[in-house]
Structure 1
């Protein structure tokens, strides 16, 4: 087996030497004295694991983590700090770190963390290399293997290769920012900045200044010139989340920026050329907003070049077990809890809930469950009350009411069938033979049903 490649980054020479010695037996180790040198190495050669200090001059560990995940999302990152806090740990995990080490650390503990990270990377590489096209379970940080998500992955991959404006549509919590990052990090602009802007959170009187910058003296308090977020994203991507919340005056300027590829700072007379890809997102129906006079029609058509709709979780319920398992692993590592999965009934309740808040609500529910679970498996009692009270197999009435009768009946039947299979596999831990016996059918018949509903027995083991 080829030795895993590990990069150790720390501004203290004695720490670099210590870790290199600990990892010398079994790993190909290189070192870097700061974040800048580490970035240069990561840009030119592949690593399985990067172990980096948080507190460093110049680029700190969090900046390095973000850069590594931008260039090589599959590389695992372990953060080290002498000032560890729970907040640091949670932030590290949310931003994609595999784990963290508190200084001073036990050499055996450090070796064990790196070994787990390297093994996780090896297994992920093996899964990617052997998976059939229909078995793809993720795209960048989006997770799901349902037919709906495969369609989304194909569109995002195509969008990444085309340097055009993309409009991401879908309900709140469906993963629009993750989709935007996936496009950026798979595009030719991946080496430059990804700047995310929540348009709904910008103060109305400062929207134009934040997006396009301002000249000195443009308004009270403008003591100096300031570039806007479009200029900060030069050469990269700007993500305009909740673009439907922009005031009409800012919409005019955004439309001009898209049309002319230039912006003008507030209070300035000279335009500034920009080279930025725009990805916008909204949970609103922009066509309805145009009809209501709240959104400019010309801007709508400039944004609606390459639309991609992220499906709500209730329309890809077969992804719930996979997502739940992903979030258990993520949050158990973040808060260092020995929680590994779900009791069968808890998984059935997750599958039976309609998830109005979509993937974001599911993640929050799993994070809470991991925090309160007294043992290695999440119980029904550990779930939020509204999820624990879900009736497995019950179709979502609001969705069904919008469909023709025959289609509604078919969807209800499909959902009940899918959730029956989820409960069956959960009960027998993914053992298809025992599940088939309980269902009173041949193993091949059960396999055909699993394929039809996008389920894999391995997800329940």
Structure 2
């Protein structure tokens, strides 16, 4: 689960009340930034404030609702909790409709404030994490090899040297780890980038094509199409023995038989992929081919060995998915984030990409409002989960039409908006998802 943002900007012009509330919040383990006026708070709080704002409504010069409006313009994802007198409740409800997180009517139990702050803090931490991941994914979008784990850093650092060295390579790794992507990155970084990258799916190539087409001296299906460029041999360990024999000759001589006696020379670089050594039989690759091919052997680790890369890689894939599907990029819920870091991803990047597609389309169960609470969770937490699910289900059933959802739920409009804000339900995101 996402960490809770632990800072609170407390804006209250009553010195005694400000001191009392600050003490209660600090005793709950929260760091407090106290402000006697909204002007002072506005000077200190920016769009990246790592916490929650709690403000009185009635204050001189700049009111709490004016403070909320200004902060919402800076960052709509910054939770603002309003403290109101009884006469200010209609004003606070109106602020809820405009995006305020919650309101508490004075006098209130400090525990109610702490509970609201903790929930808002969890949402704030999640928003900041989503923001960080998206920014990091955008920064690395042109690279293609996403991640900050030591293994990925090493591979990324090796690409320029491998690209210029122009030697044959063997890339080993589990299915879906991105072996072809790495091969293409190396091709594009080197002097051969202006010529073709010819991919051959070795596992699907019958011997008839090997003899009649692949090693012909001319033709689109011939290895000669890679002349001056890169020949990419995918799943070399699944190739037939006949194909491996012919490839061993190709790697050795850099030529194919000509129509006459003289062979046709080819200037190419070979990059091959295979399953990891522990996943394939010892004789899956003929030694004559393996020793000629594997001048350098690279290994792409599975996602379970670089879990720290998964959220960042997911953000990159989700951004690609949203652009491809012409859909909005969803926020990463706590449930989805827990799945990202806890799942083993046996299908690796390919499986993660499919998960990103489902979340972008809003058809994965984890695209909703978060994980279900445990059976022994406190009753308020279970009630919140039930209410959140009922509201999201009603909105989904009515295609995001708020009025129809309220009628379906059978609750007053004011209560609906109060619960939407308290439970952290993003109405705009639900509408976008339904319209995608």
Normalising by structure 1, report the TM-score: 0.47
* Structure with more relative contact order (C-alpha pairs < 8 Å, separation 6 or more): 2
Q: Which structure has the bigger radius of gyration?
A: 2
Normalising by structure 2, report the TM-score: 0.50
